[in-house]
């Protein structure tokens, strides 16, 4: 490269199309935070429109919002940015309802956004940590479908775990 290269580097834009037809125009560096999109870009090269039939626009938007934050902050490898990212991540997952959390997890998993999957699984884990079985059922609205007496039987049989 010549030393007189311009400071404004042109960043390539990608179009991502969600299952409901909503499209997002995103910088390549943001979208490739997602492993699946990174693979598509590397394999297909010049393809600019990427269809994502398994992700709804609302959640794709949220995933990309996360990617954008992390792609921007990664350009500076400052220690301080780690803190900013952590704080931002905390805010990001703080008030997610379970439905949104579920769809985000599914989207992040489908798009191979490993770091985002880690963040979201940790959020779910924090909702389980230290809770009793009854409390977990209550939190996640899980209905026991064991036959009457079956649960008690399992508990007895596996008393090593429930004592």
Partner 1 sequence: MAHDQKRVKLEDHGTKEEEVREPNTITTGVDRFSQLPDSIICEILSSLPTIQAVRTSILSKRWRRIWYSLPFLYFNDSVVGGSFDLNKFHKFVGTCLELRKNDMFGATDTPVTKFELVLYKSKSKSITDGWLKAVAQSNVKELAVQTQNMRTHYGLPVDVLRARSLTVLDLYFVRLWGLRSISLPSLFEPLKSLEIYCERKRTTFRIEAVNLEYLLGSGYAAYFDFGLSSYGALTELSFTCSRFSDEWLEALTLKLPVLECLTLTDCENLTYWKLKSNLKKPSEYDMDWYINLLKFLSSLNCSEYLSLDVSSEEALIFPKELRKVYSSPLPNLEDLEVRTSSPSADNSDLRESLMWASPSLETLSIYPK
Contact footprint for partner 1 (CB under 8 A): 20-26, 30, 56-58, 61, 64-65, 68, 97-99, 101-103, 105-106, 109, 117-118, 121-122, 124-125, 128-130, 133, 136-137, 140-146, 151, 154-155, 158, 160-163
Given the complex with partner 1, which of 94 and 129 has the nearer CB atom? 129
Given the complex with partner 1, which of 85 and 109 has the nearer CB atom? 109
For the CB of residue 111, give the shortest distance to partner 1 in the complex, in Å. 13
**Cα 109 to Cα 121: distance, rounded to the nearest angstrom:** 10
Given the complex with partner 1, which of 74 and 144 has the nearer CB atom? 144
Distances in Å between the Cα of 152 and the Cα atoms of 70, 135, 148, 159 are 47, 17, 8, 10
Given the complex with partner 1, which of 43 and 125 has the nearer CB atom? 125
Residue 95 phi/psi, 5° resolution? -105, 25
Rounded (10°) CA dihedral 24, 59, 88, 36:
-70
Given the complex with partner 1, which of 43 and 97 has the nearer CB atom? 97
Instruction: Please identify which residue in the block is written with the tokens 């036959």.
Output: 147
For the CB of residue 16, give the shortest distance to partner 1 in the complex, in Å. 10
Distances in Å between the Cα of 37 and the Cα atoms of 1, 33, 49, 95 are 28, 8, 11, 27
Rounded (10°) CA dihedral 59, 63, 64, 66:
140
For the CB of residue 117, give the shortest distance to partner 1 in the complex, in Å. 7
For the CB of residue 5, give the shortest distance to partner 1 in the complex, in Å. 14
């Amino acid at each position: 490269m010549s030393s007189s290269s311009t400071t404004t580097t042109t960043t390539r834009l990608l179009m991502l199309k969600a299952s409901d037809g909503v499209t997002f125009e995103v910088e390549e560096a943001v979208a490739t935070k997602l492993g699946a999109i990174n693979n598509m870009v590397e394999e297909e090269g010049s393809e600019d429109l990427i269809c994502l039939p398994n992700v709804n626009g609302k959640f794709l938007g949220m995933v990309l919002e996360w990617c954008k934050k992390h792609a921007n902050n990664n350009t500076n490898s400052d220690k301080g940015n780690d803190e900013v990212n952590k704080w931002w991540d905390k805010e990001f997952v703080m008030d997610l309802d379970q439905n949104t959390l579920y769809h985000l997890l599914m989207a992040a998993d489908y798009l191979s956004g490993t770091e985002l999957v880690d963040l979201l699984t940790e959020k779910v884990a924090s909702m389980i940590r230290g809770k009793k079985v009854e409390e977990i059922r209550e939190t996640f609205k899980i209905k026991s479908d064991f036959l009457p007496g079956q649960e008690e039987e399992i508990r007895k049989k596996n008393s090593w775990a429930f004592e």
